[in-house]
A and B are shown apart, each in its own frame.
Chain A
């Protein structure tokens, strides 16, 4: 299974019925140095489009929305001490939360890596 992306620069990796969620490399570049991430509580039930996390850079706070609905089953506790993982490994160690997906068809609307790449290139013009 490959990464899928939203227009708001979140990524989703679906493995079985569990979706790992984070923000893209483009997003972390725009955010700048991340100093704090507020992750959701384990057990929280999130609808698609609900606030999943808040990423704080030196300058500002930015909301991250759930690209897919479901129950939060795990959060990245590493981010507590090392929020810069979001900058260093946005699509790896910088993940925010894992969600047990209720409806995986939510993913169908998302972009694959190639489509997201050209979407981002369009933004920079």
Chain B
């Protein structure tokens, strides 16, 4: 509260209300945190069938210019030049210290780049990209498009009823396809650890297409609450929590997202810091944490060693509906970042034992063809 800016609504707002969603402010938008089924049910439904998420609050950008793949590499460590048209990659906007301004997904298209950024970072990212690419490329926000995600083991079978071509797409690829006659940008990607798609739809057709998908018996609407528990189980980072300007891709354990060429050549903000982190190993490291017992350890819970000295902090934590147990991730000193290491979590003043574990907590089930 104390925020006088009116909250924004996605084009699916009325549909959420009609479906009985509990709406909450999130990144300046009024978004569904859950529907009447509740977070637990929505979460498990996504793991067993298919969940439909409104992620229209996220920023959809098109960046165009003569050598746009090379141009954007001056701002992000991702290897965009290595992508063929129709391929996509996870990367970050970094600052001069290698800190993370935002994480994003870049798709290379025939003549431009299609970029999806976090809602809360949208204005900042557009400014960073516009200024950073001035004279080389232009950045346009696609404010006239909605974005939905269809996630879960039944997602492919359901979406193929509307266009059979989606079935053969492999993870992290993009196609422009008509879905029920509506021209969409379809990617096989998501934020749940499940197979699935994100579908960018012209606003004018978003409600109609979303209704058609929801009418399929395998599909149920899923809110931001379950989106968070699903991504945590999948070991995926949430910007502003697990990734910040104080973390970098190496301490976050995301070195895999930087190709050999980009590690060697650098050429992005903070490259020297990140190269040094790779060589010298980061001081702190993001790890998966499995608390003993049932008490969840939430964000900002202090992590202590066996003597009770605070060594780190939980950055995301909650309850895993799939495991029926609490799970968390957080940053600990490198010595502690080994699987099986015993740590303590200071939950409401009580030290509760926990272990460092491998992530993801729940197996990712991406379709790789």
Contacts and interface: CB of A to CB of B under 8 A. Distances in A.
Interface stretch (A1-9, A56-64, A66-74, A114-122): A56-64
A32 B21 CA distance: 13
A36 B249 CA distance: 34
A61 B43 CA distance: 18
A58 B294 contact: no
Nearest to B350: A38
B326 A36 contact: yes
A59 B39 contact: yes
A59 B294 contact: no
Contacts of B321: 58
A27 interface: no
Contact of B43 (A36, A38, A58, A83): A58
A36 B294 CA distance: 6
Interface in A17-62: 32-33, 35-36, 38, 54, 56-61
Nearest to A58: B39
A54 to B, nearest CB: 7
Interface in A103-120: none
A78 interface: no
Contacts of B319: 35-36, 56-58
A83 B34 CA distance: 20
B40 A58 contact: yes
Given A36-B296, A80-B294, A59 B348 contact: no
A83 B324 CA distance: 11
B229 interface: yes
B240 interface: no
A54 B326 CA distance: 15
A36 B39 contact: no
Contacts of B28: none
A80 B294 CA distance: 8
Nearest to B224: A59
Nearest to B229: A58
Contacts of B295: 36, 38, 56
A46 B58 CA distance: 47
A54 B294 contact: no
B39 A83 contact: no
Nearest to B296: A56
Contacts of A83: 294
B34 A35 contact: no
Q: Which of B33, B319, B326 lies at the interface centre, i.e. has the most chain A CB atoms within 10 A of its CB? A: B319
A45 B40 CA distance: 35
B33 A59 contact: yes
Interface string B33-56: 110001111010000000000000
A32 B326 contact: no
B85 interface: no
Interface of B: 33-34, 38-41, 43, 225-226, 228-229, 294-296, 298, 318-319, 321, 326, 348
24 contacts: A32-B34, A32-B39, A33-B38, A33-B40, A33-B41, A35-B294, A35-B296, A36-B294, A36-B296, A36-B326, A38-B348, A56-B295, A57-B39, A57-B319, A58-B39, A58-B40, A58-B225, A58-B226, A58-B318, A58-B319, A59-B228, A59-B318, A60-B298, A61-B298
Q: Which 9 A-B residue pairs are closest in the complex by CB-CB distance?
A: A33-B40, A35-B319, A58-B39, A36-B294, A59-B225, A58-B319, A56-B296, A32-B38, A36-B295
